[in-house]
Amino acid sequence: MPAPVLQQARILVVDDEPANVLLLERVLQRGGYTNVASTTDARCVLQLFQEARPDLVLLDLRMPYIDGFAVMEQLQPRIATDEYLPILVLTADITAAARERALSGGAKDFLTKPLDATEVLLRIHNLLETRFLHLQLQGQMHVLEEKVAERTQDLDLARLEILERLSRAAQYRDYDTGRHAQRVGELARLLAGELGWSAERLALIRQAAPLHDIGKIGISDALLLKPGRLTPEEFEAMKAHTVIGAGMLSGSRSPLLQLAEEIALYHHERWDGAGYAHMEGEHTSPAARIVAVADVFDALTHRRPYREAWPLEDAAKHIRKEAGLSFDPDVVSAFTRVLAHLSEESCTSDPAEPPRAVPEPLAVVGGPHGGGTI
Ligand SMILES: [Fe+2]
């Protein structure tokens, strides 16, 4: 490393002998080091250290009030574990015990008194070179970490966009154009939040819930777009979208896709066990029980070709009536609280602003497809 770079280093000299301090200052000046702070009073070291933020400390061991060992003890908590901050000990006491104690206290090297100017400069050069290389390496690691974080974020965004477009593709084959899936995601997130889910899991359900009907990609248009009521056989065929969707999402190591798989598979199960696969109560996934409520509420409150949208109050009443039957009672309680919060928010919002809608809900009780969402 070029000497001019090292000569920018900040150096702190601590020795109770003014003559030693003066000598070291002159030696350092001769070596081209100009950022030097010094003290003969060890009690001032801590403050000086915090002010000067040195790259190197030259420290005497035998001093009144506080000796060099105690000074190192004071400094240690202020030196980050991943920071290489050399302490060069100046001592006439070169016993093995003193060396061992100094090394374990944080010293990186020793200089024996009386000091030799050439040796002082060489040791200082070596220690500073190591420190600066360490800092350089840390800087490069920081840049690399930032680049990795940036790329990871890009990948996450690309993955989310692909999932959103995939769910939109499935919805295009149905009576909506993708907004239904996103509304279900948003309502599912609100419900999960009310149920105390962590921020990380809230983000997951928000992203996974819109994929609940992804399996409809595997259902024929003749069924999906049939204007009239489905026959029992057709209804059975339509039910396969849960298994198809789960199959499309299965086998991933991504927590997001694993959650999406659960939701796709179980979102038509009922709390009383009368759903598609007759899975009862808590035997399904908590996320799917949340999505089941969000899915039906959104379906009811939005228009379909074969019926008008239900008023919010009627749809909410239906959801509450189904607690313990179609739906997990805890999720229904959370749903009631979410609606109350939303309605409070719309009451307290600026009257000039349009009232904030409940995240647009989805599909069909009593529709031509035979009641409930599909
Ligand atoms: Fe479905």
Could you tell me the residue ranges of all domains in the chain?
A: 3-143, 174-348
pLDDT the model gives residue 374: 65
Task: Determine the distance separating the centroid of ligand 1 and the alpha carbon of 6, expressed in angstroms.
Answer: 68
Q: Which CATH architecture best describes the domain 174-348? A: Orthogonal Bundle (1.10)
For 100-133, write each residue's pLDDT tens digit: 888 888 899 988 888 899 999 999 999 999 999 9
Q: 263: burial class by Cβ within 10 Å (0-12, 13-18, 19+)?
A: buried
Task: Determine the distance separating the centroid of ligand 1 and the alpha carbon of 212, expressed in angstroms.
Answer: 6
Tokens 């009593």 belong to 366
Q: Tell me if 49 sits within 8 A of 78, measured CB to CB.
A: yes
The model's pTM: 0.63
Most distant CA pair in the chain, distance: 103
pLDDT the model gives residue 192: 98
Q: 113: burial class by Cβ within 10 Å (0-12, 13-18, 19+)?
A: middle
Chain centre to alpha carbon of residue 297: 31
pLDDT the model gives residue 362: 34
Report residue 261: phi and psi, to 5°: -65, -45
pLDDT the model gives residue 350: 52
Neighbours of ion ligand 1 (CB under 5 A): 213
Task: Determine the distance separating the centroid of ligand 1 and the alpha carbon of 180, expressed in angstroms.
Answer: 12
Chain centre to alpha carbon of residue 78: 28
Task: Determine the distance separating the centroid of ligand 1 and the alpha carbon of 267, expressed in angstroms.
Answer: 7
Angle (CA) 195 199 204, round 5°: 90
Task: Determine the distance separating the centroid of ligand 1 and the alpha carbon of 224, expressed in angstroms.
Answer: 11
Task: Determine the distance separating the centroid of ligand 1 and the alpha carbon of 156, expressed in angstroms.
Answer: 26
Task: Kindly give the parts of the chain with pLDDT less than 50.
Answer: 351-371
Residue 89 to residue 120: CA distance in whole angstroms: 11
Tokens 């944080």 belong to 106
pLDDT the model gives residue 105: 86
Task: Determine the distance separating the centroid of ligand 1 and the alpha carbon of 213, expressed in angstroms.
Answer: 5
Task: Determine the distance separating the centroid of ligand 1 and the alpha carbon of 187, expressed in angstroms.
Answer: 16
Residue 189 to residue 342: CA distance in whole angstroms: 14
Q: Tokens for 114, please give them.
A: 């009386």
Q: Please give the CATH superfamily to which domain 3-143 belongs.
A: Response regulator (3.40.50.2300)
pLDDT the model gives residue 281: 86
Return the closest-CA partner of residue 331 out of 199, 183, 190, 201.
190
